[in-house]
Amino acid sequence: MPSQKVLEQKKAVVAELAERLKNSITGVVVCYEGINTEDDTKLRKELRENDVKYTVVKNTLLSRACDEVGLEDIKPVLEGTTAIATSDSEYAAAARILCNYAKDHDNFKVKSGYLDGAVIDMDTIISLSKLPSRDVLLANVLGAFQAPIASFARAVQAIVDKGGVEACAAEAPAAETEEAPAAETEEAPAAE
**Residue 69's domain is classified under what CATH number?**
3.30.70.1730
Length of the chain: 192
pLDDT value of position 183: 47
Provide the residue range defining the domain that includes 92. 4-131
Q: Residue 71: what are its φ and ψ, rounded to 5°?
A: -110, 45
* pLDDT mean over 151-168: 73
d(CA 64, CA 68): 6
On whether both 103 and 31 belong to a single domain, the answer is yes
179 shares its domain with 90: no
Q: Does residue 89 share a domain with residue 43?
A: yes
Contact 86, 94 (CB under 8 A): yes
- Let me know whether 20 and 64 are in one domain: yes
Q: Are 97 and 185 part of one and the same domain?
A: no
Q: How far apart are CA 190 and CA 192, in angstroms?
A: 6
The pLDDT value recorded for residue 192 is 44
pLDDT at 186 over 70: no
- Final residue of a domain: which of 82, 97, 131? 131
pTM: 0.67
List for the chain the helix, strand, coil content (%; round to 5): 65, 15, 20
Is the same domain home to 48 and 70?
A: yes
Same domain, yes or no: 126 and 33: yes
Q: Say whether both 42 and 123 belong to one domain.
A: yes
Supply φ then ψ for residue 36, to 5 degrees.
Answer: -90, 170
Average pLDDT over the chain, rounded to an integer:
82
CA-to-CA separations, 94 to 20, 50, 146, in angstroms, rounded: 15, 8, 30
Cα–Cα distance between 26 and 63 in angstroms, integer? 17
State whether 126 and 141 are in the same domain: no
pLDDT in tens, 128-140: 888 776 677 677 7
What is the number of structural domains in the chain?
2
On whether both 59 and 122 belong to a single domain, the answer is yes
Say yes or no: 127 and 142 in one domain. Answer: no
- pLDDT tens-digit series, residues 36-91: 889 899 999 999 999 999 999 999 999 999 999 999 999 999 999 999 999 998 88
The count of C-alpha atoms lying within 13 angstroms of the C-alpha of 62, restricted to the half-sphere facing its C-beta, is 25
Residue type, 48: R
Residues 89 and 183 grouped into a single domain:
no
Q: Is the Cβ–Cβ distance between 99 and 125 less than 8 Å?
A: yes
